[in-house]
Structure 1
Amino acid sequence: MQKVLIIGGGIAGVEAAIYYRKEGFKVELISERSYVFIYPIAIWIPVRTAQFDDVAFSLDQIAARHGFTLNIDQVISINASEKTVTLKTGGIRQTDHLVIATGAAKMKHEGLEHTLSICGAPEQSIMLREKIDALIERGSGKIAFGFGGNPNDTSSVRGGPAFELFFNLHHHLNKLGIRENYEMTFFAPMPEPGARMGDKALSMLKRMFEKNRFATRFGKKIKRFESDGVIFEDDSRLEADLIMFIPAGNGSALIKESDLPLNNAGFIRINDYCEVEGVEGWYAIGDASALEGPDWRAKQGHTAEVMARNVAHNSAITQGLKAGTKKTYQDHLNILCVMDMGNGAGFVYRNDKKALLLPMPIIGHWLKIGWGWYYKMSKMNYFPRIRGM
């Protein structure tokens, strides 16, 4: 039986493990955590719509269901020329067939320790909940949410979850009848955050901000964060008791310190089939890889899953396990988002041909809750996978 080593236990790595098993490979998945954290629904932890255990899904259960080996360990170095990875406790591993799904690091900002992120370490979702609870207990406060950019790779910007948590917190405070006691400001260095989703989605965001009297600070680069505010490039200041900030993705130290081929942001250069340039038998998928494509391209979970399924399929062809044509991720490059607002959602879709927005009052929120259930059930093979989800 052909063997594959997959490093990274996130959405991309889990999908790769499942589909390599479907293709008949013997699979070992190495993950630093014993669970996959379902980031798209983590937005509900800080506002108490979901608990941490609802979002953290045991990798043991998935591994047992699909018959792959789970190894909880940390990869501390990668050597492409020698085709080895070194584990913190498991030593040096030689592998001719590797899938790198280790995710990305975050852009460094001065004073970042004064912020919390819904896209950071899973534990930060609980810390955000505690900060929000403390503000509610206090009875008033100033709240600042935002996200940053990476000039070396615009695909690594992740603003959607910032908007979603912002809207959910607004809804949460409204339900408690205390929204008027809080100043809520959204900030971002780009003039029109959310523009990559298309004109219709951008217009909807603008209307929502106006309707709910949200303050904004757009188009100014972030100079630093302080314990009680955000300082911008012109030395203007945004005072805040709570700062939720999602830095743009950047190449991790593990990847940057390797001899892998990298782009200017430190992501792994791949071809359309997710094959690492110049390293036969090695693949990179998800946030660790350098996506090519239009300016609006974005690293999202569904794109990572497409890449994972493709590498399993392409590997089976390369290894002679089946006949067929290799698949490219470029054929599936799009933006797909159910932007949850606590009491509804907006369905956003964009590709090279169209950009659409479908408002979904009330039902949209429940559809996203349903997607969380579907993710778990489909990964366990209790529910058939729906094409495109």
Structure 2
Amino acid sequence: MKKVVVLGGGIAGAEAAIALRKEGFQVKLVSDRDSLFVYPISIWIPTGEKSPEDVQIPLKNIADAHGFEVEIDKVVSISGKEFYYETEKKGKQTDFDYMVIALGQTKLKHKGIENTLSVCGSPKEIIEIKNRLENLINQGSGKIAFGFGGNPKAPEAVRGGPVFEVMFNIHNHLKKLGVRDKFEITFFAPMPKPGARLGEKALKMMDMMFKNMNIKKITGKKIKEFTPSSVILEDDSIIEADLIVFTPAGDGHPVIKNSDLPQTETGFLKIEDTCQVKGFENIYAIGDSASIEGPDWRAKQGHLAEVMARATAHNIAIKEGLKTGKPEGYKEHINIMCLMDTGNGGALAYRSDKKAMLVPMPIVGHLMKKAWGVYYKLYKLGKIPRLI
């Protein structure tokens, strides 16, 4: 039985391990975290609808359910030519036939970034957002700034959706508490039209939502610096804030940047449509670790990461003669699909080459996203089959 090692225990890595095991491979997943953190439903931690435990699935439980091995260790280096990976605890490892890289990405480092908290950062950061918000509520008033950054060299590595979701949820949370009028909420982003990848109609609808929620919007100005109490923009204008919730754009993982594998100038791995790393027969890359090629509006999302994971397992199985058929590619599956939660409802965002839309879903949208969270955990634990 061929051995496959999956480096990374996030959304892409966990799905790859499950899919590879189903194809009949001996699979080991290596992760520096002992749980899969389900970021799409962590948006409710700041408002107290979910606890940190609610949005984490122990990797051991996933491994036991699907029959693969999990090893909690930190990957510190990778070599393509020598075909090994190295970890903090066990050193160099070579006992495998295929390597699937799903290490994710890091974030661009803005000046003063330590004065911000990200909804796409570590679980500790999201918990800290909750604690800081509670302190402001107890204080009786406050100013909160929400924003996300861009990466011109890798436009697909922007994380805007979760920022919008947490901002809208906090707005409605404050409204329910009857203190929304005591808080000033500002949204900021360096690009002129944040969210433009969803299309012009979506932008108009978002502007309407901002107006209805009394959220100030400042866009088209690059970020100069963050201080403990403000965001300083390129023209030296200042956004005062007691809490800054900011998600930088993605940057390549340091292990990948220091490897001999082909990568973009930002440190994302260059891959074929089949997810095989270019020039390396037995190495694949999926999710945020990979450079995604496609239309200008493309984005790295969880559902695409899982498509890449399953395609990789399928393609390795064909290569090993375990199944017949054509190799699968990720490019045909590129689209933007997100159920954007607002706390009191939601909106279905979708973008493809043929269509761009943002469909309001009052009340039911919130319930649907909650239901998806339940489904996702049950599927990962092997209690129900994959539905989508």
SS at structure 2 position matched to 1:20: helix
Moved over 4 A (4+): none
Asked if 2 retains the 8 angstrom alpha-carbon contact of 1:12 and 1:286, the reply is yes
The answer for the alignment partner of 1:59 in structure 2 is 59
Q: Secondary structure at the match of 2:43?
A: helix
Q: Which residue of 1 aligns with 2:321?
A: 320
Gaps of 5+ in 1: none
Residue 96 of structure 1: how far off its partner (Å): 3.6
Q: What is the distance in 2 between the residues matched to 1:356 and 1:187?
A: 23
1:356 CA displacement? 1.8
Letter in 2 for 1:238: I
Match of 1:105 in 2: 106
Report what 1:269 is aligned to: 270
1:341 deviation in Å? 0.2
What does residue 80 of structure 2 align with?
Answer: 80
Alignment of 1:214-363 (within 5 A): 214-363=215-364
1:165 lines up with 2:166 in the alignment: yes
Secondary structure of the corresponding residue to residue 125 of structure 1:
helix
User: Within 2, Cα distance between the matches of 1:199 and 1:366?
Assistant: 27
SS in 1 for 2:64: helix
Residues 2, 97 of structure 2: 8 Å contact kept: no
Superposition deviation, residue 331 in structure 1: 1.1
Aligned residue type for 1:191: P
Count of aligned residue pairs for this structure pair = 387
Question: Which residue of 1 is the match for residue 149 of structure 2?
Answer: 148
In the other structure, the counterpart of 1:181 is 182
Partner of 1:17: 17
Correspondence for 1:369: 370
The AA in structure 2 aligned to 1:7 is L
Give the Cα–Cα distance (whole angstroms) in 2 for the partners of residues 200 and 368 of structure 1. Answer: 23
- SS of the aligned residue for 1:357 comes to strand
Measured after TM superposition, the shift of residue 317 of structure 1 is 0.2
> Which residue matches 2:116?
115
Q: Which amino acid aligns with 1:143?
A: I
Contact 1:16 / 1:305 at 8 angstroms: preserved in 2? yes
- Matched with 1:33 is 33
The one-letter code matched in structure 2 to 1:277 is: K
Q: Is the 8 A contact 1:149 1:157 kept in 2?
A: yes
Q: Distance in 2 between matches of 1:198 and 1:64?
A: 43
**Matches of 1:359 and 1:318 in 2, distance apart?**
44
Which stretch of structure 1 is more off in the superposition, 132-141 or 209-218? 209-218
Normalised to the residue count of structure 2, the TM-score between the two structures is 0.99
What is the aligned partner in structure 2 of residue 43 from structure 1?
A: 43
Distance 1:146 1:131 in 2: 17
Q: Deviations over 1:196-229 (max 9, x none)?
A: 1122221111000111221111000001100100
Cα displacement string for residues 337-367 of structure 1 (whole angstroms, at most 9, x for unaligned residues): 0000000000011111111222110010010
Q: 1:246 Cα shift?
A: 0.3
Q: Give the letter for the 1:88 counterpart.
A: E
The answer to which of 350-359 and 159-168 deviates more is 350-359
The answer (yes or no) to whether the contact 1:83–1:96 under 8 Å persists in 2 is: no
Q: Deviations over 1:30-78 (max 9, x none)?
A: 0101100000011100110111000011111110010100000000011
SS of residue in 1 equivalent to 2:40? helix
**CA distance in structure 2 between the aligned counterparts of 1:13 and 1:315, rounded to whole angstroms:** 15
CA–CA separation in structure 2 for the residues paired with 1:113 and 1:230: 12
**Retained in 1: the 8 A contact 2:62–2:382?**
no
* Bigger mean CA deviation after superposition, 348-357 or 34-43: 348-357
Note the residue ranges of structure 2 that are not aligned, 5 or more in a row: none
Identical residues among aligned pairs (%): 55
**Residue 120 (structure 1) shift:** 0.4
Shift of 1:381: 2.3
Quick one: distance in 2 between partners of 1:90 and 1:352? Answer: 46
Partner of residue 91, structure 2: 91
Rounded Cα–Cα distance in structure 2 between residues aligned with 1:290 and 1:188: 23
